[in-house]
Amino acid sequence: MATVRPAEIHDVVAIHHLIENYAAMGNLLPRPMNELYRHLRDFFVVEVDGRVVGCGALEIFTEILGEVRSLVVEESHKGLGLGRLLVERIMEEAANIGLSKLMALTYVPEFFHKLGFQTVDKDTLPEKVWGICVKCYKYGNCDEIAVLKNVKPR
């Protein structure tokens, strides 16, 4: 059975391992361990049989906009709906804290479309582009697709 929960300090090594595997394939930006410790409260993990097999984070940009970041599910557990569970938990958290929009940059927009996100032009997300993207080695040549969903704050 899969359980999604907020990340805990002892999860950082597993989160780092998941992210680094995908970063090595060029599917995700790497995140150093010290950054993961600093942003631990942004992360959720999915456990199967007591082992962390996926993670995702909610990064907040403004009083209305947040981002799904570092979404990873271990290759051996893909296709089981664990990514969906993580994004649903992140959407719930976004609503709980009062965000009204949630975005992601992705190579798999179809996954997010199934969850109600719509493809948008990256230029409509200046908070992301100017806050984070300008620091990325892919800036100016970004091949990710921006998706956005309206969230109903609670």
Average model confidence (pLDDT) for the chain? Answer: 89
Q: pLDDT (tens digit, 9 = 90+) per residue, 9-68?
A: 999 999 999 999 988 887 887 889 999 999 999 999 999 999 999 999 999 988 999 999
- Mean pLDDT value of segment 102-106: 92
Whether the per-residue pLDDT at 106 is higher than 70: the answer is: yes
Whether the per-residue pLDDT at 113 is higher than 80: the answer is: yes
Whether the per-residue pLDDT at 138 is higher than 90: the answer is: no
The CATH class that applies to domain 2-150 reads alpha beta
pLDDT at position 126: 62
Cβ 5 vs Cβ 45: under 8 Å: yes
Domain boundaries, the chain: 2-150
